Amino acid sequence: MIGPVGRIKSGAAVRAVVGQDYRRAMAALVSHLLDLADEAATTALARRIAALCRAGDVLALDGDFGTGKTTFARAFIRARCTAAEDVPSPTFTLVQVYPAAEEGDAAVYHFDLFRLRTADEALDLGIEDAFAEGISLIEWPQRLGPLLPPYRLDLAFRFGSSPGSRTLTLSASGGDFLARLKEAGVV
């Protein structure tokens, strides 16, 4: 008796796991398109997303020159970090690190990888520490190739229909980002 019952249970367990994986995979495919009518909308969204981030989160900021990646990162950093009055674009340094305002909170690593020549060069920038214990904001994330973590929030900025507007597509691959965004009413 024990054998067959055990097998039935494990069969059900396998189906449950497959179901969970399927749901996770489907969630990863869902993208949310947001309208950022002006710069204030971009900075307000950055502050809301900053409030729901924690150590280990990776945000990949994709988009052409001038679409608002640094504008988003600057507002995000100002919302979470001390000494963040001045948040320069890390165009030449490739990374800037900002300690959290709250004791014990994660530092924010702001990367601009446009000038990265090979993905391996990013190891010298401290990406391992950033991914393990910091919050990473990465402009030009595709430069990381296979080093880009699979569990991340993708933010794709595009020019909108007027000079001051942008659109943003949010998609969460893995992790519980989507649940956090929904709970906060962002999507």
Ligand X SMILES: Nc1ncnc2c1ncn2[C@@H]1O[C@H](COP(=O)(O)OP(=O)(O)OP(=O)(O)O)[C@@H](O)[C@H]1O
Distance separating alpha carbons of residues 81 and 105, to the nearest angstrom: 9
Shortest Cβ 150–ligand X spacing (Å) = 24
Q: How far is CA 67 from CA 33, 39, 53, 64, in A?
A: 15, 10, 22, 6
- Work out whether 38 is an interface residue with ligand X (CB under 6 A): yes
Instruction: With beta carbons less than 8 A apart as the criterion, state whether 20 and 150 touch.
Output: no
Shortest Cβ 152–Mg ion spacing (Å) = 18
Shortest Cβ 125–ligand X spacing (Å) = 16
- Residue nearest ligand X, CB atom distance: 68
Residues 81-110 touching Mg ion, rule: CB under 5 A, are: 89
Among 69, 78, 80, 166, binds Mg ion (CB under 5 A): 69
- Work out whether 69 is an interface residue with ligand X (CB under 6 A): yes
- Work out whether 70 is an interface residue with Mg ion (CB under 5 A): yes
* CB nearer ligand X, residue 71 or residue 136: 71
* CB nearer ligand X, residue 7 or residue 115: 115
Instruction: With beta carbons less than 8 A apart as the criterion, state whether 49 and 186 touch.
Output: yes
Q: What are the structure tokens assigned to 73, written together?
A: 């990162």
- Work out whether 171 is an interface residue with ligand X (CB under 6 A): no
- State the binding partner of 63 from ligand X, Mg ion, none, CB within 5 to 8 A by kind: ligand X
Interface residues with ligand X (CB under 6 A) are: 36, 38-39, 41-42, 63, 65-71, 89, 112, 139, 164-166
